[in-house]
Structure 1
């Protein structure tokens, strides 16, 4: 006999499997698109997240990784002439990461590639808003 707890556990396992599967498809999509531009997935993720000047810590949070890993990625982007480190306007201990003109242009190309055949492109804009709301609630617990 299946108990309510068993039913709940099965439902959560299935949902976790779907979320994990989607995350894997998105990661593969990013890897494929990044490779066409000569970037690693981590570099592409950093460029995607750099919507304006930000600190290394802010970028690490957006990339969901440790600042030390972000430093490695940014070092590579800096060597490629895509990112520069500028003095932070209010914190002399921090640096602001800023896209160069070349970095901004490459980011725009990347953003265009990421929406083509995206794992989420089969969802309507309304479906995407609903999914966004549900995932945000699941993450925040509210």
Structure 2
């Protein structure tokens, strides 16, 4: 027997919202891949560079955030490092740990990537401030559950 929560999750409105979220995600990824390609980056390279532009991170934490194996992260960082977009440095808190960090050029490219994402910015700009605030609250609530 289904619980009230399960029944509520399967109603038509919920299913439509799930489909719309899926479409938003698909369009965002397509736009992100296109923006990355302009900089001759893969989507994974661009995502990792975006994370590193915010703060230096150890490889294990990068792997967790990207939901992949640490060996994959090592290869991505190697390719970014070869292009001068990232570097490895010792962790000041534990010199045995290496941090990956964006270089100045890497931060510039990451900023350019964020600014070129049309799908996310153009439709949102069409919403009133209050609508964007409501959307932010709802999305945060969904992610906190």
TM-score of the pair, normalised by structure 1? 0.79
Which of residues 68, 72, 83 in structure 2 aligns to 1:69?
72
1:111 counterpart residue number: 114
Q: Measured at CA, do residues 135 and 92 of structure 1 come closer, stay the same or move farther in structure 2, by a change above 3 Å?
A: same
| Kept after mapping to 2: 8 A contact 1:49/1:63 | no
RMSD: 2.3
Shift of 1:66: 4.1
Whether 1:85 aligns to 2:88 is: yes
**Worse overlay, 19-28 or 117-126:** 117-126
Give the match for residue 39 of structure 1. Answer: 41
* Structure 2: tracts of 5 or more residues without a match: none
Q: Secondary structure at the match of 1:93?
A: strand
Q: Classify the secondary structure of the residue corresponding to 2:88.
A: strand
Number of equivalent positions: 136
Structure 1 alignment gaps of length 5 or more: none
Partner residue, 2:143: 139
